[in-house]
Structures are given as C-alpha cells and as structure tokens.
Amino acid sequence: MHIVADILVGLLAVLHIYIVIMEMFLWTTPRVRASFGSTAEFAEQTKVLAANQGLYNGFLAAGLIWSLIASDPVGHDAGIFFTACVVVAGLYGGFTAGRRILLVQALPGAISLIAVLLAG
C-alpha cells in the first residue's frame, strides 16, 4: 500500500506544480484564462494575486515532495500534513471560488490523504 500512497502523493505534487506554472507564469494566456473563465482585462488586473496564490501552491508541492523523500516517521507525518493541507485548500477554494476546485484539488487530496493514512 505504501507504493500506492507514494504514487498518489507524487501525482498530487505534479498537479500542484502545474497549478504553480499556470498561476505564476501563464495567468494571462488565453488557455489559462479560458480554464479559469476570466477575461484578458481581469487576468491582467489579478496577475499579482494569482502569482501569490501560485506561490502557496508551490509550498504545497514542495511539502508533498519532501514527504516522499524524507525518512519515516517524518516523511509519513509530512505526507499526512501536506495532503490534509491540500484538502483544506481545495475545500476552501471549492466553496469560495468555484465548485470545480472540489474535483480538481480537494478530491485528489482526499484520496491521497486516505492512501497515506492506510499506508501508515
């Protein structure tokens, strides 16, 4: 079960690296604007806020990666903490910014958290 948890946490980290790239570097591009449903004007006005949000997603990705490379029990505990952080961030975003975040962030985070707990 440990390998399944590691794979899921690794995929969750990759997802958050992708989110970092979108929010910090590609926020004003047509593709990212379309995926977030924003206009060029809104994207330009909010690019600093989006980059800040991307930085926080980068911290989540870094913590998830750290949980994979740290020795246990630190790695396992970090896995629990950072997957739980992803779930909380996804729930907050899902209820305040857009329901789609529940599927894109909270659900993968919850699945990964359950896998890490079961691998314990």
pLDDT tens digit string along 66-118? 999 999 899 999 999 999 999 999 999 999 989 999 999 999 999 999 999 99
| 59-84 residues labelled b (16+ CB within 10 A) or e (exposed) | ebbebbbbbeeeeeeebbebbebbbb
Residue listed under structure tokens 């994207």: 43
The type of residue at 106 is: A
Mean pLDDT to the nearest integer, 12-28: 98
Output the pLDDT for position 60. 98
Output the pLDDT for position 1. 61
Confidence check: pLDDT of 34 > 90: yes
Q: Please choose, from the candidates 71, 14, 55, the residue with its C-alpha nearest in 3D space to the C-alpha of residue 79.
A: 71
pLDDT over 70, % of the chain: 99
**Cα-Cα end-to-end distance for the chain:** 9
Q: DSSP secondary structure string, 26-67?
A: STTSHHHHHHHT--HHHHHHHHHHHHHHHHHHHHHHHHHHHH
